């Protein structure tokens, strides 16, 4: 015989009592312990898992009257009739709001009966009560889901904002302290931080796929993918790129964009619209995006002779795969992709800005 299992338990209620039907055949009651607040049982019989030992425990929603409660066995079930201590409708059977897969509603016995009501009216009241309970549970679950989503998005955007604020602060402070020498040490000073933030930014491609945000996945894929290619496949691979002053300008440009973008999303996740941040979000990209594309393109051009020299990421024939790949050629192609992708990204931002603020013509007409 297998270990102890849970039987299917069907429950119903009247104004003054609870009914339980345990779905077991050829059953023997091993133990029944009924108190005001709890029912503990164990049986041996034939249920959904065949002939086995079955048991379950329930903590009642409200106290019950143990003296006037009864239990009986039939050929097909064990039936409890448990008196409530007060004549009142219970919104659920158990003390805690939990979903027990083995506990089912017995609709045949889920009715409210009193001396003045007909059976039809009682059944109607029971159905209405069940619907109200279901609606309440759905609303509560929906609110919890929205709260969890908003909390997660707010926290993610806040942490990213803090990360990029740290990068801008360190780069600016050292530039003021050391002058142009600080530009050659930009990656040394904040390399780990920018790599962490850009790795975390991959989540922005996943968020729309999971339905956490309403925007599409293409725009963040282009931005995050392009940045990570520059950062991890180029700058990280050669110290000569890391000490190039253009890296300082690129990290400052990226970070300045994010110091505007993340607070915008942070407040949007909780339904707030800070007008200055909103205006900056849809305006600051006009100078910053072209600068970012310029600096990224500069790094790609600088890296081509370095990868020609090192041969890193290139695959030459003969080899077992019978396939050749020359990474510098890919970088030449990527310059074209960078230009076209940058234009597409700026068109996308222009479209969002136009949608948010309207065109100049419409603003003049409105004036």
* pLDDT tens track for 73-85: 988 899 999 999 8
The average confidence (pLDDT) of the chain is: 87
d(CA 355, CA 353): 5
* pLDDT tens track for 285-336: 999 999 999 999 999 999 999 999 999 999 988 888 888 999 999 999 999 9
Domains of the chain: 9-110 (2.60.40.790), 153-360 (no CATH)
Only one residue has tokens 């050292």, namely 174
Contact 63, 37 (CB under 8 A): yes
SS3 50: strand
Please compute, for residue 361, the number of CA atoms within 13 A of its CA located in the half-sphere on the CB side.
Answer: 0
Cα angle at 294 between 292 and 300, to 5 degrees?
Answer: 100
* β partners of residue 50: 47
First to last CA, the chain: 84
Contact 113, 122 (CB under 8 A): yes
Contact 44, 26 (CB under 8 A): no
Kindly give the residue spans of alpha helices, DSSP state H, lying in 179-244. Answer: 186-200, 203-210, 218-228, 239-242
Beta strands in the chain (DSSP E): 9-13, 17-22, 25-34, 38-47, 50-59, 64-73, 78-84, 103-110
> For 116-125, 279-288, 333-342, 347-356, which range has the lowest pLDDT when averaged over its residues?
116-125
The length of the chain is 367
Q: Which residues form the catalytic set?
A: 289, 296
pLDDT band at 138 (very low <50, low <70, confident <90, very high): low
* pLDDT tens track for 159-181: 999 999 999 999 999 999 999 99
**pTM tops 0.95, yes or no:** no
The pLDDT value recorded for residue 140 is 53
């Amino acid at each position: 015989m297998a270990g102890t299992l849970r039987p299917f338990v069907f429950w119903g209620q009247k104004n003054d009592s609870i009914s339980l039907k345990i779905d077991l055949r050829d059953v023997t009651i091993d133990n029944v312990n009924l108190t005001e607040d709890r029912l503990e049982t164990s049986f041996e019989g034939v249920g959904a898992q065949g002939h086995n030992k079955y048991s379950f425990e329930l903590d009642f929603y409200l106290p019950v009257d143990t003296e006037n409660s009864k239990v009986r066995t039939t050929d097909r079930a064990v039936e409890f009739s448990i008196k409530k201590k007060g004549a009142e409708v219970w919104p659920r059977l158990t003390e805690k709001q939990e979903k027990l897969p083995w506990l089912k509603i017995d609709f045949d016995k889920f009715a409210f009966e009193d001396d003045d009501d007909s059976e039809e009216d009682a059944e109607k009241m029971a159905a209405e009560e069940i619907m109200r309970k279901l609606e309440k549970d759905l609303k509560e679950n929906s609110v919890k889901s929205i709260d969890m989503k908003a909390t997660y998005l707010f926290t993610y955007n806040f942490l990213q904002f803090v990360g990029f604020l740290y990068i801008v602060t360190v780069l600016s402070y050292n530039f003021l302290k050391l002058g142009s020498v600080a530009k050659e040490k930009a990656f040394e000073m904040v390399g780990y931080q920018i790599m962490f933030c850009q790795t975390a930014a991959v989540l922005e491609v996943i968020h729309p796929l999971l339905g956490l945000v309403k925007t599409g996945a293409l725009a963040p894929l282009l931005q995050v993918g392009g940045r990570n290619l520059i950062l991890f496949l180029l700058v990280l691979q050669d110290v000569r790129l890391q000490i190039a002053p253009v890296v300082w300008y690129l990290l400052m440009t990226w970070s300045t964009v994010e110091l505007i973008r993340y607070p915008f999303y942070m407040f949007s996740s909780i339904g707030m619209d800070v007008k200055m941040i909103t205006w900056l979000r849809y305006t600051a990209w006009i100078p910053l995006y072209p600068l970012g594309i310029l600096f990224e393109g500069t790094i790609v051009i600088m890296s081509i002779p370095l990868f020609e020299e090192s041969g890193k990421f290139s695959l030459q024939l003969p080899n077992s795969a019978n396939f050749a790949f020359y990474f510098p050629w890919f970088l030449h192609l990527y310059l074209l992709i960078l230009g076209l992708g940058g234009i597409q990204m700026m068109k996308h931002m222009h479209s969002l800005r136009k949608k948010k603020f309207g065109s100049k013509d419409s603003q003049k007409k409105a004036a």
